[in-house]
Structure 1
Amino acid sequence: MHIIEVSNLAKRVALAGNELTILSDIVFTITQGTSVAIIGASGSGKSTLLALLAGLDVPTTGQVYLAGQDITALDEDGRAAVRAERIGFVFQSFQLLPSLTSLENVMLPLELHGRADPEARAWDYLQRVGLEHRLEHYPKQLSGGEQQRVAIARAFASEPQILFADEPTGNLDSKTGANIIELLFELNQQQGTTLVLVTHEQRLADRCDRQITLEAGRIIADVQLSPVAVVAEGTQ
């Protein structure tokens, strides 16, 4: 099953009276349950592509289908509903709310989306990432690696079909980054989540099933590194 389908995607913006092409002629599909790294030099369009796939931005032309639904045909409220139902995020900057504890940061999206027993679910996922002793700590009381683990727990707690990660190890030292990589793929495999990540880090890209390379807004390579996982339709 193709969980993501991208058709003739392009993104152009007006700049100083001219039109700047950020992405052009992007076409690919992603099978449910696989892990895909989007790689390329700075300015190649990686983060823009991730934003388009997640419905955080809209393309100039082309379509993005998530689980068969054309999110490019939806308004912002419609795209937000799809994100709430199907998508999780892990960002380089963690994006934790400083006034909330670790437990509350994980609970918040669960509560907003009406998930059953959000406190128990949040506690379970914080335990899975090894932070059961940091439940009542605020972000400023946590190390960078601990903050990213909270962010990962928050992303996986809603059991999304798709997890988007933008440079998830970018603000971490080498050892901590390696631990975060292991955690991401451990949870990815446990839940059968489709993992799509942008990274400059080759060791992270090499852990993925597939690597899509961008250059100047175009796909110049699309390499399958391991057999495509077969995930039964309807599973997550």
Structure 2
Amino acid sequence: MNKQSKSIVANQVGRLVNTTDGDLAILHDISFEIERGESVAIIGASGSGKSTLLSLLAGLDLPTHGQIDLMGQNLNLLDEDGRARLRGQFVGFVFQSFQLLPHLTALENVMLPLEIAGDGQLEAKQSAEKWLEKVGLAERANHFPRTLSGGEQQRVALARAFINKPAILFADEPTGSLDEASGNKVIELLFELNRENSSTLVLVTHDPALAARCGRQLSLQGGRLA
């Protein structure tokens, strides 16, 4: 495969944080490649560095050493605004805590990525309505997050993540705060939408069943690839 076929390339990535006792290594020389359209689970015990690695892969933070290429772009060569533009163009996110804006309705939350990208309000509204229908929440479009169940909020978050058809979707414990039934519905929907959009899926999870649904697993132990 040539470089253009890669969604993500990590090369000798390490991350140190400063503590009162000196530098603490969170990640040690992590290297791997993820093909476009691939589904990959990052697994490991709590504190193994999973969420830190996801943050680096998405360009939310930079490694202390090593290099990450996201859609062919070296993140080290981009400033914060440049990385934000790259995420806006290629990346969608789903978080354990949903990250919905409480003062916006479900419809308005889903519209937000398109509005930020400069789409017209009517176009954004029509697209958001279609996505809420896809996730089975058309009748809840005008409800605020506080009136939705956890499973419903996560489905709104999925619609928001997929509305701009991201090349890469990052998911951080997407079912971690849901009961089993709601979590299973979200998992099915996540992989269904991912297949429909042919996007790359990178998810952090401690759930073996969810990890097993992915094409490949990367296991972290003490900040190293096992």
TM-score, normalised via structure 1 length: 0.92
- Secondary structure of 1:23 counterpart: strand
Q: Which residue number in structure 1 is paired with residue 70 of structure 2?
A: 66
Q: CA deviation at 1:113?
A: 0.8
- Secondary structure of 2:177 counterpart: coil
**Percent of counterpart pairs with the same letter?**
59
1:80 aligned partner, one-letter code:
A
Q: Does 1:143 align with 2:149?
A: yes
- Secondary structure of 1:190 counterpart: helix
**Structure with greater helix share of residues:** 2
Let me know the Cα RMSD of the aligned residues.
Answer: 0.7
Q: Which residue number in structure 2 is paired with residue 207 of structure 1?
A: 213
- Secondary structure of 1:3 counterpart: strand
Q: CA deviation at 1:72?
A: 1.9
Q: Does 1:112 align with 2:97?
A: no
> Which whole-Å CA distance do the structure 1 matches of 2:47 and 2:96 have between them?
17
Verify the 8 A CA contact 2:39 2:201 in the aligned structure 1.
Answer: yes
Q: Which residue number in structure 1 is paired with residue 7 of structure 2?
A: 3
Q: Which residue number in structure 2 is paired with residue 223 of structure 1?
A: none
Q: Which residue number in structure 2 is paired with residue 92 of structure 1?
A: 96
> Which whole-Å CA distance do the structure 1 matches of 2:189 and 2:203 have between them?
14
Verify the 8 A CA contact 2:59 2:83 in the aligned structure 1.
Answer: yes
TM-score, normalised via structure 2 length: 0.96
Q: Deviations over 1:43-88 (max 9, x none)?
A: 0000000000000111100111011110122110000000100000
Q: Which residue number in structure 1 is paired with residue 81 of structure 2?
A: 77
2:169 to 163, 171, 190: 163
Structure 1 residue ranges (4+ consecutive) displaced by more than 6 angstroms after TM superposition? none
Q: Which residue number in structure 2 is paired with residue 154 of structure 1?
A: 160
> Which whole-Å CA distance do the structure 2 matches of 1:122 and 1:31 have between them?
29
Consecutive unaligned residues of structure 1, counting only runs of 5 or more, are: 221-236
Verify the 8 A CA contact 2:113 2:163 in the aligned structure 1.
Answer: no
2:201 aligned partner, one-letter code:
L
Verify the 8 A CA contact 2:47 2:222 in the aligned structure 1.
Answer: yes
